[in-house]
Chain A
Amino acid sequence: MDAHLKCQIKESIIRGLLFFIACIAVIGVLLIIIFVFQEGWPVLAKYGLGKLLSGTEWMPTSEVYGLLPLIVGSFYVTLGSLVLGVPLGIACAVFMAEIAPEWMVKLVRPAINLLAGIPSVVYGFFGLVVLVPMVRMLFGGIGFSLLTGGIILAIMILPTIISISEDALRAVPRDYKEASLALGATHWQTIYRVLIPAAKSGIVTAVILGMGRALGETMAVIMITGNTPLVPKSLLDPGATLTGTIGQEWAYAAGEHAQALFTVGIFLFVLIIIINSSALIFARKKVGNR
Chain B
Amino acid sequence: MRFWPRLMQKIAFGVLWGSAIVTISFLVLIIFFILKEGLPSVTWEFLTTEPEAMGREGGIFPTIIATIYLTVVSVIMSAVIGVGAAVYLTEYTRDSGVTKVIRFATETLAGVPSIIFGLFGFAFLVTFLQLGFSILSGAITLSLMLLPTIIRTSEEALKSVPNSYREGSLALGANKWTTIVKVVLPAALPGIITGLVLSLGRSIGETAAVWLTVGGSLNIPISIMDSARPMTLHLYTLAAEGLSLPRAYATASILIIAVWLVNTITNLLMARFSMKLRA
Tell me if B223 counts as interface (CB < 8 A to partner A).
Answer: no
Q: In the docked arrangement, what's the CA distance between A218 and B115, Å?
A: 7
Given A25-B105, A121-B235: A114 touches B19 (CB 8 Å cut-off): no
Given A250-B212, A280-B107: A95 touches B119 (CB 8 Å cut-off): no
Which residues of the partner chain A approach B259 to less than 8 Å between Cβ atoms?
114, 117-119
Interface residues of B in 74-130 (CB under 8 A from A): 80-81, 84-85, 87-89, 92, 98, 101-102, 105-109, 111-120, 122-124, 128
- A268-290 to B contact mask, C-beta < 8 Å, 1/0: 11001101100010000000000
Tell me if B279 counts as interface (CB < 8 A to partner A).
Answer: no
Which residues of the partner chain A approach B252 to less than 8 Å between Cβ atoms?
122, 125-126
- Chain A CB within 10 A, most for which of B17, B85, B267: B85
Which residues of the partner chain A approach B81 to less than 8 Å between Cβ atoms?
21, 24-25
Given A91-B15, A91-B19, A265-B119: A25 touches B263 (CB 8 Å cut-off): no
Which residues of the partner chain A approach B201 to less than 8 Å between Cβ atoms?
117
Q: Are A19 and B12 within 8 A (Cβ)?
A: no
Q: In the docked arrangement, what's the CA distance between A191 and B239, Å?
A: 45
Given A11-B176, A32-B116: A25 touches B85 (CB 8 Å cut-off): yes
Tell me if B165 counts as interface (CB < 8 A to partner A).
Answer: no
Which residues of the partner chain B approach A91 to less than 8 Å between Cβ atoms?
15-16, 19-20
Return A156 CB to nearest CB of chain B, in Å: 10
Given A15-B92, A23-B102, A128-B239: A246 touches B119 (CB 8 Å cut-off): yes
- Chain A CB within 10 A, most for which of B6, B24, B148: B24
Q: In the docked arrangement, what's the CA distance between A22 and B96, Å?
A: 14
Return A91 CB to nearest CB of chain B, in Å: 4
Q: Are A117 and B262 within 8 A (Cβ)?
A: yes
Closest-by-CB residue of B relative to A19 is B88
Interface residues of A in 196-213 (CB under 8 A from B): 209, 212
Q: In the docked arrangement, what's the CA distance between A51 and B53, Å?
A: 45
Which residues of the partner chain B approach A88 to less than 8 Å between Cβ atoms?
19, 22-23
Tell me if A29 counts as interface (CB < 8 A to partner B).
Answer: yes
Closest-by-CB residue of A relative to B12 is A188
Q: In the docked arrangement, what's the CA distance between A129 and B151, Å?
A: 38
Given A122-B252, A125-B239: A115 touches B117 (CB 8 Å cut-off): no
Q: Are B85 and A120 within 8 A (Cβ)?
A: no
Q: In the docked arrangement, what's the CA distance between A275 and B235, Å?
A: 31
Closest-by-CB residue of A relative to B212 is A250
Tell me if A232 counts as interface (CB < 8 A to partner B).
Answer: no
Tell me if B44 counts as interface (CB < 8 A to partner A).
Answer: no
Interface residues of A in 85-136 (CB under 8 A from B): 87-88, 91-92, 94-96, 99-100, 104, 107-108, 110-115, 117-126, 128-130
Q: Show 13 residue pairs from A and B whose CB-CB distance is below 8 angstroms, ordered by the A residue.
A: A19-B88, A26-B105, A28-B147, A29-B109, A32-B144, A112-B27, A117-B201, A117-B205, A117-B260, A119-B259, A186-B5, A218-B113, A273-B111
Which chain B residues have a beta carbon within 8 Å of chain A's beta carbons? 5-6, 8-9, 12-13, 15-17, 19-20, 22-24, 26-27, 30-31, 33-34, 80-81, 84-85, 87-89, 92, 98, 101-102, 105-109, 111-120, 122-124, 128, 144, 147-148, 151, 175-177, 201-202, 204-208, 211-212, 232-233, 235-236, 239-240, 245, 248, 252, 255-256, 259-260, 262-263, 266-267
